[in-house]
Amino acid sequence: MTEQANRIDWLERQLAQVASLITEDEKRLAAEPNRFSLQVSLRSWQAHQEDLRQELRQAKAALQNEVIQLRLSGRRMDGSIPLKLLSKVSYGINRALSYAAYHLRHGRDPGRGIPETLAQELDLRLSGLALGSTRLVFAGNVTPDMAGDSILEGALEQIFEVLKEPSEDRIRDLVETIGISATKALSDMLGELEAQELSAELLWPAPNAKVYHWGGSLEAVRLAHKKLSKHEIREPEPVSLFGEVTDLKENGALYIRSGNSKLKISYNRQQYHHIQKYTLGMPVSLKVLKHVRFEPLSDREIVTYKLVTED
């Protein structure tokens, strides 16, 4: 682990602790709104949180590039890689990461392909072929935004979760998080590798010192492709919800009271700055995607809502 990675890991752990302390102070202040010492304590922790976020932004910006390695092996991998296959694999990775990044930021798939502004921000590129010409090295921009997040990091984290997750329910949740377009791009790439009888191994040493790893065999490719290709993806319905904010969670959900119903609207951490303008009791009109799935064991439909934010 590099010194910079150690620093990022420490800052992220500090931010998690401070967020917990802020939540505790907010709960205590809700019970005693006029207690001055609690108000001072909360403001102090919030200021410290912003300082840590700024430091984390600078630490991540210093890394500049993320390196992802994809190792292919099989009967066609004889020290070189067919150009057609290289093109398909590179195209698949670019589409999967780009669509996942867009969906994380906006809660929906783009209407007309990946915007050029996002493509430039991600700056995905094939940076080299490692020794033996079967290990592809991809790079991209991990400079964090003003909220301290890197959209490429978020996309990579979700792609690895989708590839590794064995649970059908969890797969469904993850697919709703990265979107239909990213899921299809990933499934198509895996299908191409399976058709060519190639094993794949994906490696990503993240800035927070965690090493993400998936695959290493043809069976891993087949299993991941089977999970995604057989997964029934129902097109979500765009709707508007009206109500009053009853609860805000930093871990990815806000709740509104609409008539006699209390509705939960999930959001991705890349959308957090969009909901910071909301306060408890505020009347809101939210654009969301309504996901409906049928639960055969209980013979009922389950409805979930995902927040949609503007470009």
Pick the last residue of a domain from 229, 245, 272. 229
152 and 99 part of one domain: yes
* pLDDT score of 29 more than 80: yes
CATH number of the domain where residue 258 is located: 2.40.50.140
Domain region containing 300:
237-307
Q: How many domains does the chain fold into?
A: 3
Cα gap 177→174, rounded to integer Å: 5
Contacts of residues 276-281 at CB distance under 8 Å and 24 or more positions apart, as own/partner, are: 278/245, 278/248, 278/254, 279/245, 280/245, 280/246, 280/247, 280/248, 281/244, 281/245, 281/246
pLDDT digits (tens, 9 = 90+) for 274-284: 888 888 899 99
55 and 186 part of one domain: no
173 and 158 part of one domain: yes
Cα gap 233→289, rounded to integer Å: 14
- Under the banding of pLDDT at 50, 70 and 90, the label for residue 97 is very high
Pairing, β 135-141 against β 125-129:
antiparallel
* pLDDT score of 139 more than 90: no
Contact 99, 188 (CB under 8 A): no
Structure tokens at 86: 């290289």
Contacting residues for 277 by C-beta, under 8 A, at least 6 apart: none
167/260: higher pLDDT:
260
pLDDT digits (tens, 9 = 90+) for 199-256: 999 988 877 778 899 998 999 999 999 888 876 667 788 999 999 999 988 778 899 9
161 and 12 part of one domain: no
pLDDT digits (tens, 9 = 90+) for 177-208: 898 899 999 999 999 999 999 999 998 887 77
* Residue 98: closest CA among 82, 79, 118: 118
Contact 102, 185 (CB under 8 A): no
184 and 224 part of one domain: yes
216 and 97 part of one domain: yes
User: Could you tell me the CA-to-CA distances from 23 to 3, 13, 30 in Å, in that order?
Assistant: 31, 16, 11
- Which residues make beta-bridge pairs with 202? 70, 214
Cα gap 33→35, rounded to integer Å: 6
Amino acid at 113: G
Q: Report the share of the chain in percent with pLDDT over 90.
A: 35
* pLDDT score of 1 more than 50: no
214 and 264 part of one domain: no
Contact 269, 275 (CB under 8 A): no
126 and 216 part of one domain: yes
Pick the last residue of a domain from 229, 263, 290. 229
Q: Using the 8-state DSSP alphabet, how is residue 138 labeled?
A: E
Sheet with 125-129, edge to edge strand ranges:
125-129, 135-141, 65-73, 199-205, 211-217
11 and 51 part of one domain: yes
* pLDDT score of 272 more than 60: yes
What is the average pLDDT score of the chain? 84
205 and 292 part of one domain: no
Pick the last residue of a domain from 42, 60, 78. 60
99 and 186 part of one domain: yes
pLDDT digits (tens, 9 = 90+) for 33-81: 888 888 889 889 998 988 888 788 766 655 556 578 888 887 766 667 7
71 and 202 part of one domain: yes
